[in-house]
């Protein structure tokens, strides 16, 4: 465990040394992101942090964000495709950069009219593209980044088995995965040992023993059994089950 912590810090340090102010930590407010954030801030307390929120995040996530911000005394740049800042974030004076929601609203209206379903049901990939991928691309340009740190691990599920520590997203964008070889157990061991903030959804245990093990948008996240993969609860019962929102999809893999 100590070796993995040291290695992850070395990866973060090398990334910051190489990219200077053109690299940032991506934070989703889930368990892996919190470990990544904690390690990165140990390496460089001034490292920039950015986050992508959606209108479908659970209220517990909106409530959790201010707690983490206060805990670490950080000032993340939060991007969100929406018409208004969620009241909880507004109440806590958390600044959010709102991005135009016109394309999403048009797609949502079309979905309702033609299928009778929300877009996240009829076409979850399109929903993710409009709410998350577009926001990520805007954030990269807005912050003038050439690289970013991700909490991705290759033990989370099938779509991440072949991920590498350094990934070229494009000729001008690199994604770095310092926690790549960590296991779910090691993530929780680090969180417990270091008393990191824990999103309340992880504390829920359902009557049949299922738990939330991978945190996403509320309608697209369900609890899973311990014998399942962590991400099996994402986009359950859709063609996108246990898949990716698109932010971590490599160009050679497709959606």
SS3 sequence, 82-114? CCCCCHHHHHCCCCEEEECCHHHHHHHHHHHHH
Instruction: Give the angle subtended at the CA of 233 by the CAs of 83 and 104, to the nearest 5°.
Output: 20
The residue from 127, 217, 220, 245 that is catalytic is: 245
227 within some domain? yes
174 within some domain? yes
Verify that 125 and 46 share a domain, yes or no.
yes
Q: What φ, ψ does residue 14 adopt, rounded to 5°? A: -65, -40
3-class SS at 201? helix
Verify that 80 and 42 share a domain, yes or no.
yes
Verify that 194 and 221 share a domain, yes or no.
no
Verify that 214 and 192 share a domain, yes or no.
no
End-to-end CA distance of the chain: 34
Q: How many of the other CB atoms lie within 10 Å of CB of 58?
A: 18
pLDDT of 255 over the 50 cut: no
Q: How far apart are CA 182 and CA 3, in angstroms?
A: 11
101 within some domain? yes
CATH number of residue 48's parent domain? 3.40.50.620
Verify that 133 and 210 share a domain, yes or no.
no
pLDDT of 60 over the 70 cut: yes
pLDDT at 206: 94
Task: Give the pLDDT confidence of 124-177 residue by residue, as tens digits.
Answer: 999 999 999 999 999 999 999 999 999 999 877 666 677 899 999 999 999 999
* Domain of residue 37, residue span: 2-200
pTM of the model: 0.91
Average pLDDT value over all residues in the chain: 92
Instruction: Give the angle subtended at the CA of 220 by the CAs of 218 and 226, to the nearest 5°.
Output: 95
pLDDT at 254: 42
Q: Is 220 considered catalytic here?
A: no
Confidence tier at 234 by pLDDT (50, 70, 90): confident
Verify that 106 and 124 share a domain, yes or no.
yes
Q: In the structure encoding, which two tokens stand for residue 225, read together?
A: 């059994």
27 within some domain? yes
Which residues share a beta bridge with 173?
170
Give the rounded distance of the alpha carbon of 162 from its chain centre: 19
Verify that 172 and 119 share a domain, yes or no.
yes
How much is the average pLDDT of 57-80?
97
Q: How far apart are CA 86 and CA 96, in angstroms?
A: 9
Confidence tier at 1 by pLDDT (50, 70, 90): confident
Which residues share a beta bridge with 51?
78
Report the largest interatomic distance among the alpha carbons of the chain, rounded to a whole angstrom: 54
Verify that 188 and 211 share a domain, yes or no.
no
Instruction: Give residues with Cβ within 8 angstroms of 10, minimum separation 6.
Output: none
Q: How far apart are CA 91 and CA 85, in angstroms?
A: 10
Q: How many domains does the chain have?
A: 2
CA quadruple 194, 167, 169, 15: dihedral positive or negative? positive
253 within some domain? no
Q: In the structure encoding, which two tokens stand for residue 3, read together?
A: 């070796």
């Amino acid at each position: 465990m100590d070796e993995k912590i040291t290695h992850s810090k070395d990866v973060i340090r090398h990334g910051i040394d190489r990219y200077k102010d053109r690299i940032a930590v991506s934070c989703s407010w889930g368990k892996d992101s919190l470990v990544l954030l904690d390690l990165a801030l140990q390496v460089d307390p001034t490292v920039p942090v950015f986050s992508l929120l959606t209108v479908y995040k659970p209220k517990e996530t909106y409530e959790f964000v201010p707690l983490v911000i206060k805990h670490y005394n950080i000032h993340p740049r939060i991007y969100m495709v929406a018409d208004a800042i969620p009241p909880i974030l507004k109440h806590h004076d958390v600044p959010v950069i709102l991005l135009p929601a016109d394309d999403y609203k048009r797609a949502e209206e079309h979905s309702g009219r033609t299928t009778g379903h929300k877009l996240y049901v009829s076409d979850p990939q399109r929903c993710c593209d409009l709410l998350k991928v577009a926001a990520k691309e805007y954030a990269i340009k807005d912050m003038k980044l050439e690289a970013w740190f991700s909490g991705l691990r290759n033990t989370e599920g099938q779509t991440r088995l072949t991920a590498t520590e350094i990934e070229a997203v494009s000729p001008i964008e690199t994604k770095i995965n310092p926690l790549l070889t960590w296991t779910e157990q090691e993530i929780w061991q680090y969180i417990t040992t270091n008393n990191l903030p824990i999103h309340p959804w992880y504390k829920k245990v359902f009557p049949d023993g299922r738990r939330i093990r991978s945190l996403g948008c509320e309608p697209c996240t369900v609890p899973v059994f311990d014998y399942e993969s962590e991400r099996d609860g994402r986009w359950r019962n859709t063609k996108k089950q246990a898949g990716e929102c698109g932010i971590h999809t490599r160009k050679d893999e497709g959606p």
